[in-house]
Amino acid sequence: MPGNPEARISLVIAISTVFGAFSAVLAMMPLSFSFPLIPYLKFDIAEIPVVTAFLGFGPVPGFISALTYWLVLNIFGEWTPIGPAMKFIAVASMLVGLWVSYKLMSRFRMPYISVFIFSSLLRVLATTACNYLVLVVIMPFFLEFAVKSLSIALGLEIEVGLGGLLLILAFTAIYNILHVALSLLPSIFLVRNLSKQGLFLNLREPWLLQAMVKKRPRDFR
């Protein structure tokens, strides 16, 4: 990164704005698709630019892009403000998982799959806690709708209660694990291919690849 602090800040803002705006554009397009078992859960490719910014340039652009995505969802998204808040928690916890896996990989010999494991684990933990809060405390009436949706999808008679709640949380966890794969794998592909074309400005390597080879990251901390 350039030594000039003003240039560094300007670059961070520019990168974050570009990737955040791209996520916003994707979020407004009809590109999402439902999780078949719980249709109100949507797979959204708008997360990919956020993860790409994080993996390619470091935590600050990644989290700023996530905030931009959240702001746009509050304007154009569904179930506001709870829906956008849940999406932000899901994305932010996934990014924290990526950061944790990077920290561990920079200190210990760990397989690359740990990136997926930690990002999935933190996302599942955060979203499970939030879904429990929403379904039990904030919007208990929504549990009946969720259980009915799952019952129709599975062709079973599921009762609204502890068993139904646990099933909803379990299948929501599966959805979030699948979403991590949807967001992470294309982002890694993009970062690797963009780095080959020299599109990471004056960074010699993208942030992710520096982590993979256990170099000290040149991020925006």
Question: Which residues are CB-contacts of 35 (< 8 A; sequence separation ≥ 6)?
Answer: 41, 42, 43, 171, 175, 178
- Residue 199 belongs to domain with CATH number: 1.10.1760.20
- Residue 34 φ then ψ, to 5°: -80, 150
The pLDDT value recorded for residue 221 is: 43
- In angstroms, the CA 174 to CA 41 distance is 11
Start-end of H helices in the chain: 5-28, 47-57, 59-76, 82-107, 113-133, 141-154, 162-196, 207-212
Query: Is residue 174 a part of any domain in this protein?
Result: no
The pLDDT value recorded for residue 200 is: 56
Counting the structural domains of the chain, the total is 1
Query: Is residue 140 a part of any domain in this protein?
Result: no
The pLDDT value recorded for residue 219 is: 43
Query: Is residue 21 a part of any domain in this protein?
Result: yes
Ranges of the chain with pLDDT below 50: 1-2, 201-205, 213-221
Q: What's the pTM?
A: 0.85
Query: Is residue 176 a part of any domain in this protein?
Result: no
DSSP per-residue letters across 72-121: HHHHHSSSTTHHHHHHHHHHHHHHHHHHHHHHHHHHS---THHHHHHHHH
